[in-house]
């Protein structure tokens, strides 16, 4: 039951270029979305989030776009840096109610080449 | 910067043995979670804990699992009788509020059941 899907297991980009990581979801109850970054042997680190009342949220080099009608979100990293090389997880949540959990996608391994 | 700490970083145990994974959440956080990631798979929610009781648990969190907050700082996950399929990275997380916004994750405990 993949409620959150990251269909690209890996992505390779050149330093300085844009990285675009994609995520799709199937559960229409999700209304809060997060991106986490994970380095090997470390836990996921929060990057950026977006509520369903917005379609864009920006934080420095990171921008998340949400298309509710398509149940799709994307993370843009501009410009990409070698230190951005990591696994990126998309996660979704129901804001409020009795739902306390994050539902994760399988992750996309981003490699930024110098 | 405050962080979630987990011990041990790696635990090897024999099938059928009990294990306790330990976590120290961020001190002013109120909500605590355990997630796990089997090698090559997605991060999966196990359980959330608030006000000294389980607030939500997944179907993975069966009678073999239990959580406890024995004092004001520690949060533990116990697996009573480990199975081979329990081998995974176990992540503890905490957040200041109930809606999983910006949950902070520990570095994980790699559990290997032999």
Please report the pLDDT score of residue B66 as a whole number: 97
Which of A36, A37, A43 is best to mutate for the B interface (most B CBs within 10 A)?
Answer: A43
Which of B9, B95, B103 should one mutate to test binding to chain A, selecting the residue with the greatest count of A CBs within 10 A?
B103
Residues on chain A touching B105 (C-beta within 8 angstroms):
36, 43-45
pLDDT confidence tier of residue B40, bands split at 50, 70 and 90:
confident
CA distance A71 to A64: 13
Strands (DSSP E) found in B1-114:
5-7, 10-13, 19-24, 31-37, 43-50, 53-57, 65-68, 75-79, 88-95, 104-105, 109-113
Instruction: Look at residue A21 in the predicted model and tell me its pLDDT.
Output: 98
pLDDT in tens, A7-65: 999 999 999 999 999 999 999 999 899 999 999 888 999 999 999 999 999 999 999 99
How do beta strands B65-68 and B88-95 pair? unpaired
The DSSP secondary-structure symbol of A26 reads: -
In the predicted model, what is the mean pLDDT of residues B70-99? 91
Hey, what are B94's tokens?
Answer: 């905490």
| Span between the terminal Cα atoms of chain A, in Å | 37
Averaged pLDDT, A67-79: 97
- pLDDT at position A41: 83
Residue for token pair 């899907």? A5
Please check whether residue A86 is in contact with residue A38, taking contact to mean a CB–CB distance below 8 angstroms: yes
Maximal CA-CA distance, chain A: 45
């Amino acid at each position: 039951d993949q409620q959150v899907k990251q269909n690209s297991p890996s992505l390779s980009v050149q330093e300085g270029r844009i990285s675009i990581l994609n995520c799709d979801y199937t559960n229409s109850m999700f209304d809060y979305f997060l991106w986490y970054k994970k380095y090997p042997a470390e836990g996921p680190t929060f990057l950026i989030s977006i509520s369903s009342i917005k379609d864009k949220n920006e934080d420095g080099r990171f921008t998340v776009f949400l298309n509710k009608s398509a149940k799709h979100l994307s993370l843009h990293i501009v410009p990409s840096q070698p230190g951005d090389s990591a696994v990126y997880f998309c996660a979704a949540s129901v804001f409020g109610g009795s739902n306390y959990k994050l539902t994760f996608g399988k992750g996309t391994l981003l490699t930024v080449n110098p | 910067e405050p962080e979630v700490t987990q011990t041990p970083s790696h635990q090897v145990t024999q099938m059928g043995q009990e294990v306790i994974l330990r976590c120290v959440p961020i001190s002013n956080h109120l909500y605590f979670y355990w997630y796990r990631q089997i090698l090559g798979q997605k991060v999966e929610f196990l359980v959330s804990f608030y006000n000294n009781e389980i607030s939500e648990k997944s179907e993975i969190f069966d009678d073999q699992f239990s959580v406890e907050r024995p004092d004001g700082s520690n949060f533990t996950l116990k697996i009573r009788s480990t199975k081979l399929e329990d081998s995974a990275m176990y992540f503890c997380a905490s957040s200041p509020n109930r809606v999983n916004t910006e949950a902070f994750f520990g570095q994980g405990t790699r559990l290997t059941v032999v």
